Amino acid sequence: MVAGRPVPFIKDVPIPSAMSIPLSERVAIPELGPDDDGREVVVAGWIQEVRDLGGIAFVELRQGTETGQIVLPKGKVDEDTVDTLVEANRESVAAIAGTVQESDEAPGGFEVLPDEAELLNEAQTPLPMGVVDRVDTDVDTRLENRFLDVRKPEVQAIFAVRAAAVEGGRQWLQEEGFTEFTSPNIIGAASEGGTDIFEVQYFEETAYLSQSPQLYKQMMMATGLDKVFEIAKYFRAESHNTRRHLNESSAFDCEVAFIDDEDDVLWVLENLVHAITSFVDENCTEELELLDHEVTVPDTPFPRVTYDEALDWTADDVEEEVAWGEDLSTEAEYALGDIMEEKGHEYYFITKYPDECKPFYAQPEGEELSRSFDLGKSGMEVTSGAQRVHDPDLLRQRIEEMGADTEDFEDYLKPFTYGMPPHGGFGLGIERIVMEMLDLHNIREAVLFPRDRDRLRP
RNA sequence: GCCCUGGUAGUGUAGUGGCCGAUCAUGCGGCCCUGUCGAGGCCGCGACCCGGAUUCAAAUUCCGGCCGGGGCGCCA
């Protein structure tokens, strides 16, 4: 064979297979029941547990979040078949061809009596962590062994809910006429300011990982695509270590053109949150049951609390008072979360922030305020957004005021000089809202493979 | 960037100077058991993050490193 050449596909020559049990005929365990008594089936999955009682043994075979029982009355079942299953290490993958039997004593009212069993892949022992052990596992150990962790039904449920949240949000945005787009994650200028960003080598140049699609989605506002969104990745090089921060996170990033003011954006956001929560509520019944958690679908519109009100209301509850003009402290955010909870609101907007604590692209209002807002959920900031500046002269002035060079922003500024409508938007953190919906204690639980200060693998 | 906190069998833990050739659970191995479903019973296996220092004596105190967890700032 010539090195580097692909092996030609030869028609009519089957790929050799060790499988004597046809996996393609596999039936899903949840689809079986006592009514299938007598049916010949193929089942396959992970051997979760073996209970060998001597003359009879039981194997719990897991498929996804469900398990089914394989019964092995010794003497009645072929000895090799019994040994294959009973001697396999936990979490090995096995296939079984056999007959469904109705049984009052079996979980689910049925069990499979095998004719044949085959170990498809034996799990080594000891396992780096148990899937069904009666001991807890640290989040760190779980993340190191995510493939095992996700075998747990309650962990699978988290990611099913996350997928549903994304699906529900995307569906609603599409119905509302939003166009989904994709912006580059590798960018040439560290443009947005604020947080630290990651540098990457881009051939002979230094490039950066984008901290948000902010500037790109604004550019789209000059195109006639009046409503856009991206399921965006945020890369942020902040070396924080908290239960609510990641260095790589995801968000619904939306932008809308031809708005009167930021209230038009708030409408989109509150309805998006409503769509996400109600989609999860309607489509994740089993998952929420597994997680023993209910999702509250908030009423719209959400209450609007101004920044001034937020300061005023929380003044007595915080040890260190927030000076006017500063962003709300974490302490004040939680205090406000409690106050809103008491009033019966999990979700609420904080509006009319001082201009000085918001970025250059936020539309100022009057002398000191800005048309910026955050969405809070029980004290957690899940979104921030604003009406944007669309006047190029004001934008240049604000870039200079923050001490940056307008030269670095020419790509961004260009669309503003050739017809840019008033617009605004927001970024809704997906991990944050999943974390909040499910009351997870660590945001790392809401991502499969989190990137944080000290975690770059797996 | 600043601050706090932790690292003991595969996993989760007890243990704050000698009683530790280290606790318990889970797991793993062996044996017994024909209806288990957190199976049960008996026997066994397996660990003090690394490097220095203090001390008659260190899992335990101190210093440095490595690796976790958390808080603040900042933010989604």
Same domain, A412 and A296: yes
Spacing of A128 CA from B37 C1' in Å: 25
A319 touches strand B (CB under 7 A): no
- Which nucleotides of strand B lie under 7 Å from a protein CB? 1-3, 10-13, 25-29, 32-39, 67-76
Same domain, A64 and A180: no
The one-letter amino acid at A257: A
In a domain, A378, yes or no: yes
Cβ(A46)–Cβ(A59) under 8 Å? no
In a domain, A422, yes or no: yes
Spatial separation of the C-alpha atoms in residues A177 and A213, rounded to whole Å:
20
Q: Tokens for A4? A: 């580097």
In a domain, A97, yes or no: yes
A162 is an active site residue: no
In a domain, A68, yes or no: yes
Nucleotide nearest to A104 (CA to C1'): B35
Print the domain residue range for A269: 149-446
Catalytic residue among A39, A146, A245, A453: A245
Q: A61 - beta bridge partners?
A: A47, A68
Same domain, A268 and A164: yes
In a domain, A256, yes or no: yes
Q: How far is CA A175 from the centre of its chain?
A: 22
Catalytic residue among A39, A244, A304, A455: A244
Per-residue pLDDT of chain A (458 residues; tens, 9 = 90+): 344 444 445 455 555 455 578 888 899 998 998 999 999 999 999 999 999 998 899 999 999 889 999 999 988 888 889 999 999 999 999 999 999 999 999 998 999 999 999 999 999 888 899 998 888 888 989 998 999 999 999 999 999 999 999 999 999 999 999 999 999 999 887 655 556 788 888 999 888 899 889 889 999 999 999 999 999 999 988 888 888 899 999 999 999 999 999 999 999 999 999 999 999 999 999 999 988 899 999 998 999 999 999 988 888 888 888 888 888 888 899 999 999 999 999 999 999 999 888 888 999 998 889 999 999 999 999 999 999 999 999 999 998 888 888 888 888 889 999 999 999 999 999 999 999 999 898 899 999 999 988 888 78
A287 touches strand B (CB under 7 A): no
Spatial separation of the C-alpha atoms in residues A367 and A388, rounded to whole Å:
16
- From A191, A189, A367, A169, select the one nearest A268 (Cα to Cα): A169
What is the ipTM, given to two decimal places?
0.87
Same domain, A116 and A242: no
Spatial separation of the C-alpha atoms in residues A442 and A245, rounded to whole Å:
9
A381 is an active site residue: yes
